[in-house]
Structure 1
Amino acid sequence: MSPLDLDTDALDYVALGDSFTEGVGDPYPPEQTAGRPAYRGWADRFAEHLAAHVPGLRYANLAVRGKLMRQIVADQLPRAAELKPDLASLSAGGNDLLRPGADPDRLARILERAVHRLQEAGADVVLFTGVNFSSGFMRLRIGTFARYYLNVRSIADRNGCYLVDQWSMRSLTDPRAWDTDRLHMSPEGHRRLALKVCETLGVRAEGSGDDDWPPAPPLDRRAARRADAQWAREYFVPWVGRRLTGRSSGDSVAAKRPEPLPVGAPWTTGTRTGAGGEAADHTR
């Protein structure tokens, strides 16, 4: 793929997806969002890098945590096509693949139709592979994820899409790249991914998503076991409970940037709040 054409005064970018693209795990300071909980994430960070080269950039983010492929296609894709963006990023299918009986080939067919619709609207499209998890509970479904991401690679090749290859990013397999829920990236993980997106599209930015991490502190096995138990209580068990009852962390949550606006412009977050004004549960 040729680098993104930055020799322009104006460019519209729209991001579609789930919690990955909403930016869960990378919260904004409350003073930047009028006290309302909201997430920054790799997409906002990438838009900031892009705006440094295209002052007339307008950016919309339609992603909502917990959404399945069919929901992204039904709820976000029509709006994205209506906006006729110059650039669209689409990451979908991760929540589907976590469910029993997920069909990666079927999901890929739906994804490719979505790519066609975005391209028909005039957008260059950015797709993503996922991270190669070789440890932790996600490894149990690594084969299903790998099959899907092979399909995503093929879709990108056939249709001339940019492909952000997280699978090859060893830096994202470091635990420090992940939030305490172990499902979403930490602020540093999101920062590194934004740099990888820049690299893939040929957008100049300082640093690299693949930079080495500083040495990690020694692992205390007892502390690690306690952390595992705490994680299971606070995140894994509630996540399973939502799956069994058909609930989603994205219920009643709206897109944080439904309209294309300049980076840094005031925007209305769609993030709901829980008791005490804290961000509601944000797992996938």
Structure 2
Amino acid sequence: MSRCSAWSGWQSCRGAWTSCCSSETPPPSTPPSTPNVTDPDERATRLSALAELNTEVIACRRCPRLVAWREEAARQRPRRYASDAYWAKPVPGFGDPDGGILIVGLAPAAHGGNRTGRIFTGDRSGDFLFASLHRVGLANQSTSVSRDDGLQLRGAYVAAIVRCAPPTNRPTPEERDTCLPYLVRELRILSEVRVIVALGAFAWDGALRALAALAYVARPRPAFGHGTEAVVGPYRLIGTYHPSQQNTFTGKLTEAMLDAIFVRVRAFAEVAR
């Protein structure tokens, strides 16, 4: 069975399809008959390059403010995490290195990814995100609580614009620019990616900057919006509200809205193969 064979997820998704530049055509009811096959040597090279990149990411100490904050968060931990051994380092990307989808967030949470060592893991935003990915067949389970919880992504990879937890969840422009080369390298390595999902305006802006560094410049520059699409070079960039508690608790982003985004994303990724 291929990693994209869990097609029943299509029918569990709810919500209207919205797009600024695509037709409102529903997703296919069956998967493509010819799945993408990755050359073994190419895959080995990709895995080696990712491992090298992730080693560099984890060792990074280039932003003094972020280093101080991520380590302070580990020392001043909430009582509910008093017995946890915090990661307290930059958080690398995670997922299927052969996938056609790259999901990009803002940064790790101080007591989420900064604690667990995996992006969107151990916090409410991750709970909301991975539950949606599971419903549409892009993840093997709906929860993400630790690095060794058995979570696997199918056809998708998750990363962040900034790899360290920032104070008040707000990286500076300088911190963004210092970290951005990691995303640029990820895009080069993840050569099967054709669809990029930006979780929030900060990720949308960062993704456009990373694509520009690869000589793919969107003109005119597209504004962020939930459901907005932009074709940039060989990539389709799709925006969604960030699954933060501020958005999910207020109903600005619902399960149906996020599911509908990932249904579209998965359809585009399959067509591109």
TM-score range, shorter chain: 0.3 to 0.5
Structure having the higher helix fraction is 1
